[in-house]
Structure 1
Amino acid sequence: MNPISSPDQLPDSVARVAASVVGLATRRHSGAGVLWRPGVVVASASVLWRASQVALVLPDGEQVQGEVRGLDAGTDLAAVTWAASSLPVAERSSAVPRVGDFVFAVGREPSGLTQASFGHIGLVGGEWRSWRGGRIDRLIRLDGGLYPGLNGAPVADAAGQVIGIGSSAFSRHHGVVLPGATIDRVLDALLAHGRVPHGYLGIAVQPVRATLDGAGVDGLLVSSVAEDGPAAQGGLLVGDVIVSIGGTAVGTLEDLRSQLQVGAKVAVRVARGGMAQDLTLEVIERPSSRCH
């Protein structure tokens, strides 16, 4: 990240980010959003809940009507558009975040006034999946929580370059930053489909150690199969142990999820009675279900 040479420069950095920030006025919560693309605000899905429209508070206090184009609870991201956007698109950081880096979040009060919160990055890690099932490209955890009204707010480095948006949806004690790569991927899906399609086979599984052709292997034991789902139609049975999909070993739920691309036909190898069995299953979009 780019350090500031003097604390006197920090208000300028905040003002630079704030120029791209809108407030979100809802009946349930208040939050913030940032102009991520021309005419497209990225915000927090948990703030908007099931809203189809939302009042956006501009820097001068004016309220305009925004259309909620899509929500993804898995990543806590939402896409909002409105017709006449004169705000500048936020400047993004290309630097890799590090533990201890100084950061700040910028929100907007219902009156249009800027609010900000300052802290540091407390934890950095690799790709992870939220408890809601969303794939997030990098773990960036703040050293504390987010103040009320800062869900969906841009989080920036000291130079005023945005590293992502803040969310408190995944932890009671720490805010996380949803990185730019995740935002871009999810926005593409939300703008195109209104949602993020998730692959579905219609099974419930659990990790297990199994025997395949006399050798021990890690796999996923199929504990239930949805009637008329893709797995049932493809011949998968309760008691089968999935050991690979498309030639890639699957020993965890994360391994399985990473192979479920909607619309794909996948080659699935299972251990059935200790012997290998090869099946072909079609991945469809997941309905409202806890199965995979």
Structure 2
Amino acid sequence: MNNSSQLPDAVERLGASVIGLSTRRHGGSGVLWRDGVVVASASSLWRASTVSLVLPDGEQAQGEVRGVDAATDLAAVTFTSGAMPVAERAAAAPPRVGDFVFAVGREQSGLMQASFGHVGSVAGEWRTWRGGRVDRLIRLDGGLYPGLDGAPVADASGQVLGIATSAFSRHRAVVLPVATVERVLEQLLTHGHVRQGYIGIAAQPVRVALDGASVDGLLVSSVADDGPAAKAGLQVADVIVKVGGQPVGSLEALRELLQVGAQVRVLVARGGHGHELSIEVAQRPDRHCH
């Protein structure tokens, strides 16, 4: 920022879209992402179905928790937002290590608070330890003050880069980028959760011979009774080589190809030869199988 006196203005502009959240057990911050839709931290809301909102003008409102995704620590809350401005998202190039950033939260008393720092590290797509897919790693150079989980993190001009969370790192907060928020939010508003494909297997990466060639695949170690894979004839010791014509050398690659409701062609190596099966992808009932 060329003029440091512009920073308080940027904080104030973003603060006009920041909301305090309070449940019986937790408190946190959120930001008006769409008209009537607040994005917040899933861990701050715990299992609440409603939440008390503290608005920038000091008024209080009741919000309805429309959905939570523990895998990305994101939640969607809806309420009647009136004339509140929606936070402006950054459309410029992705942040770089060393970029100045700030987070704005709101305490349950209504007091606005801000935290200032820098981007500590950046990288490509990654998965949280809870299995959530995040489009880009943006790690801050420090942790978060209490109450800033779910707060928007902005660049020096006040445009939002993403949502702050301390759920995935003990010492360094991460920013869930705009692309991730948009993708998860759409599913939370539509389904109340993030739908994840399931075929009912446990598997691990291996290298296997298929028709005389060596290829990467996933060795099936168990098949759930009455699951989609079992119904299609997949067996323990089969090696999944391709799904929908795409190679699957890792569990992450498999997850990306399992769209709920889709009928997928699965190429497996069985006894050194290829067999093709058709599996209908279901919605994953738990977090233990794929």
Per the TM superposition, whether the score is higher than 0.5 is yes
C-alpha RMSD over aligned residues: 1.0
In structure 1, the residue matched to 2:274 is: 276
Q: Output the CA distance in 2 between the equivalents of 1:91 and 1:279.
A: 47
Unmatched runs of 5 consecutive residues or more in structure 2 = none
Q: Does 1:91 align with 2:123?
A: no
Counterpart mapping for 1:232-243 below 5 A: 232-243=230-241
In structure 1, the residue matched to 2:48 is: 51
Q: Output the CA distance in 1 between the equivalents of 2:264 and 2:177.
A: 30
Q: Which SS does the other structure have where 2:5 is aligned? A: helix
Q: Which SS does the other structure have where 1:7 is aligned? A: coil
Change (3 A) 1:216 1:136: same
Q: Does 1:213 align with 2:211?
A: yes
Contact 1:23-1:108 at 8 Å conserved across structures: yes
Equivalent in 127, 135, 149 of residue 137 of structure 1: 135
Contact 2:26-2:46 at 8 Å conserved across structures: no
Q: Output the CA distance in 1 between the equivalents of 2:220 and 2:81.
A: 51
C-alpha distance after superposition, 1:235-274 (max 9, x if no partner): 0000001011011110011110010000101110111111
In structure 1, the residue matched to 2:223 is: 225
Which letter maps to 2:122? V
C-alpha distance after superposition, 1:14-34 (max 9, x if no partner): 101100000011222221000
In structure 1, the residue matched to 2:23 is: 26
Equivalent in 151, 154, 158 of residue 153 of structure 1: 151
Equivalent in 244, 247, 260 of residue 246 of structure 1: 244
TM-score if structure 1 supplies the norm length? 0.97
In structure 1, the residue matched to 2:184 is: 186
Contact 2:42-2:68 at 8 Å conserved across structures: yes
C-alpha distance after superposition, 1:30-51 (max 9, x if no partner): 2100000001000011111111
TM-score if structure 2 supplies the norm length? 0.98
Q: Output the CA distance in 1 between the equivalents of 2:121 and 2:91.
A: 18
Contact 1:73-1:132 at 8 Å conserved across structures: yes
In structure 2, the residue matched to 1:68 is: 65
Query: 1:84 deviation in Å?
Result: 4.0
Q: Which SS does the other structure have where 1:60 is aligned? A: coil
Contact 2:268-2:274 at 8 Å conserved across structures: yes
Contact 1:151-1:167 at 8 Å conserved across structures: yes
Contact 2:35-2:81 at 8 Å conserved across structures: no
Q: Which SS does the other structure have where 1:191 is aligned? A: helix
Q: Does 1:174 align with 2:172?
A: yes
Which letter maps to 1:81? T
In structure 2, the residue matched to 1:264 is: 262
Of the structure 1 ranges 54-63 and 167-176, higher mean CA displacement relative to structure 2 is found in 54-63
In structure 1, the residue matched to 2:253 is: 255
Contact 1:61-1:110 at 8 Å conserved across structures: no
Equivalent in 15, 34, 38 of residue 37 of structure 1: 34
Contact 2:66-2:192 at 8 Å conserved across structures: yes
Which letter maps to 2:154? A
Q: Output the CA distance in 2 between the equivalents of 1:218 and 1:65.
A: 52
Percent identity over the alignment is 71
